[in-house]
């Protein structure tokens, strides 16, 4: 039963003490997040992992690229596990390393040495390594502005992987016109634009988040027509049009802080992952908090980490046969850490 499983998790946590560490992303289910030793957005979880030198077993409650990042940032003696290997990220999978290398070669032939790559942390370790060895940095949604600004002090233009929306929204906020941005289509192997390609500054990979793309202009029109006083706040993984029509946009932590500061009685429609929206609605029961899309929008891969998988992972560690270790190959990790360290040094 659920009670028994929860009891077992508590026992194992007690028994393993500080040698066990459970980080949990804000999009995780309540049944899992209740056992997290630290919760955070992607940036906070990367920073927490990099600082924690005591834990021998890190059971990562999040998705595969986050566990890889934790492995890259921790020591060899620290082992990172993902309770369910099917917890991937469809966005991270949209930037394939062979396609990225091919794009880079083509872009170098057009632009020479005037381009720097950036990657959202929502990417594979191979992509982070590619960015690291080519002088670029990782970014998260909460520091994207600073990193894009930094990158433009290094080179004239940026290749931004893999989320076109975060790239476009961030560059737009920095005053770069949409006419200086274009999407690289990895299948057509070309930039999709009608502008002069020499005028382009921001080259966006053709990737997106399958959760955040479900928030639409239509959802906003609906809320605006029905609920005049409702504020709309969305994650920058939403499309430019949706961000444009919203009242506020920002990372997961930004959304959490905004709702924390909001006056009692205020009303909020939130465009981000369902588990977080539901949690915010529970915590802030003096405010009205709903999902911007009535269909709710869960991240199916985040949800693969559930109580049974967490318990299974912990029991295997307790028995001395841990499963699902996430181990990034040394050469890949050595290059990927360049991209992560550049990011962590800037923010």
Residues in the annotated binding site: 25, 42, 89, 120-122, 141, 209, 235-237, 252, 299
Longest dimension (CA), the chain: 64
x/- map, 70-109, ligand 13P, by CB under 6 A: ----------------------------------------
Q: Which is nearer to ligand 13P, 23 or 157 (CB)?
A: 23
Q: With CB under 6 A, what is the number of residues at the site for ligand SF4?
A: 13
| Residue 339, both tokens | 């991209």
CB of 142 to ligand 13P, least distance (A): 6
Q: Tokens at residue 326, please?
A: 């996430």
The angle, 0 to 180 degrees and rounded to 10, between the axes of the packed helices 144-154 and 330-346 is 100
Of ligand SF4, ligand 13P, none, which one sits near residue 126, judging by CB under 5 to 8 A according to partner kind?
none
Interaction between residue 252 and ligand SF4 (CB under 6 A): no
Partner touching 335 among ligand SF4, ligand 13P, none, CB below 5 to 8 Å by kind: none
Binding residues for iminosuccinate: 25, 42, 120-122, 141, 235-237, 252
The yes or no reply on residue 301 touching ligand SF4 (CB under 6 A) is yes
Q: Is the dihedral of CA 223, 251, 209, 285 positive or negative?
A: negative
Between CA 193 and CA 201, with CA 198 as vertex, the angle to 5 degrees is 75
- Euclidean distance between CA atoms 34 and 12, whole angstroms: 15
Contact 16, 58 (CB under 8 A): no
Binding flags for ligand SF4, 186-225, as an x/- string (CB under 6 A): -----------------------xxx--------------
Interior/surface letters 5-21, b for 16+ CB within 10 angstroms, e for the rest: bbeebeebeeebeeebb
Closest CA to 42 of 92, 94, 99, 97: 92
What six digits make up the tokens of 261? Answer: 């500061």
Does 140 contact ligand 13P by CB under 6 A?
Answer: yes
Two structure tokens written together for 181: 């941005």
Which of 38, 85, 90, 135: binder of ligand SF4 (CB under 6 A)?
Answer: 90
Torsion of CA 67, 73, 77, 78, to 10 degrees: -40
The reply to whether 289 sits near ligand SF4 by the rule CB under 6 A is: no
Select the binding partner of residue 306 from ligand SF4, ligand 13P, none (C-beta < 5 to 8 A, by kind): none
42's contact among ligand 13P, ligand SF4, none, with CB below 5 to 8 A by partner kind, is ligand 13P
CA distances from 25 to 40, 60, 72, 75, 347 (A): 5, 9, 17, 21, 20
Q: What share of the chain is helix, strand, coil (3-state, %, to 5)?
A: 50, 15, 35
By a kind-dependent CB cut-off of 5 to 8 A, residue 252 interacts, out of ligand 13P, ligand SF4, none, with ligand 13P
Contacted by 251, from ligand SF4, ligand 13P, none: CB < 5 to 8 Å by type: ligand 13P
Q: Distance between CA atoms of 144 and 347, rounded to whole angstroms?
A: 10
> Interaction with ligand 13P in 19-48: which residues (CB under 6 A)?
41-43
Backbone phi and psi for residue 233, each to the nearest 5 degrees, phi listed first: -130, 130
Selection from ligand SF4, ligand 13P, none that 210 binds (CB < 5 to 8 A by kind) is ligand SF4
**Minimum distance of ligand SF4 from residue 345's CB (angstroms):** 24
Contact positions vs ligand 13P (CB under 6 A):
41-43, 122, 140-142, 209, 237, 251-252
Contact positions vs ligand SF4 (CB under 6 A):
27, 63, 89-91, 122, 209-211, 273, 299, 301-302
């Amino acid at each position: 039963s659920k009670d028994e499983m929860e009891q077992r998790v508590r026992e194992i946590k007690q028994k393993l003490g500080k040698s066990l560490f459970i980080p949990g992303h804000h999009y995780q289910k309540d049944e899992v997040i209740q056992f997290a030793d630290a919760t955070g957005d992607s940036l906070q979880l990367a920073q927490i992992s990099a600082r924690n030198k005591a834990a021998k077993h890190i059971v990562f409650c999040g998705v595969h690229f986050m566990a890889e990042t934790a492995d890259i940032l921790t020591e060899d003696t620290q082992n990172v596990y993902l309770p369910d290997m099917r917890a991937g990220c469809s966005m991270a999978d949209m930037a394939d390393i062979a396609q990225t290398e091919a794009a880079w070669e083509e872009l170098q032939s057009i632009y020479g040495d005037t381009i720097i790559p950036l990657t959202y942390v929502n990417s594979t370790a191979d992509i982070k390594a590619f960015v690291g060895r080519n002088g670029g940095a990782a970014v998260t949604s909460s520091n994207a502005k600073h990193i894009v600004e930094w990158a433009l002090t290094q080179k004239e233009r940026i290749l931004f992987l893999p989320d076109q929306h975060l790239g476009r929204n961030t560059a737009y906020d920095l005053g770069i016109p949409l006419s200086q941005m274009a999407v690289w289509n990895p299948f057509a192997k070309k930039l999709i634009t009608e502008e002069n390609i020499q005028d382009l500054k921001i080259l966006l990979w053709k990737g997106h988040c399958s959760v955040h793309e479900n928030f639409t202009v239509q959802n906003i029109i609906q809320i605006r027509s029905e609920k005049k006083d409702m504020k709309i706040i969305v994650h920058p993984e939403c499309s430019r049009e949706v961000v444009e029509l919203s009242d506020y946009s920002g990372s997961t932590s930004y959304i959490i802080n905004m709702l924390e500061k909001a006056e009692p009685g205020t009303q909020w429609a939130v465009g981000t992952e369902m588990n977080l929206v539901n949690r915010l609605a529970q915590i802030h029961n003096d405010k009205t908090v709903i999902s911007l899309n009535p269909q709710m929008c869960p991240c199916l891969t985040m949800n693969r980490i559930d109580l049974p998988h967490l318990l299974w992972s912990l029991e295997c560690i307790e028995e001395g046969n841990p499963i699902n270790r996430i181990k990034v190959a040394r050469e890949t990790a050595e290059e990927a850490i360049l991209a992560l360290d550049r990011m962590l040094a800037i923010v």
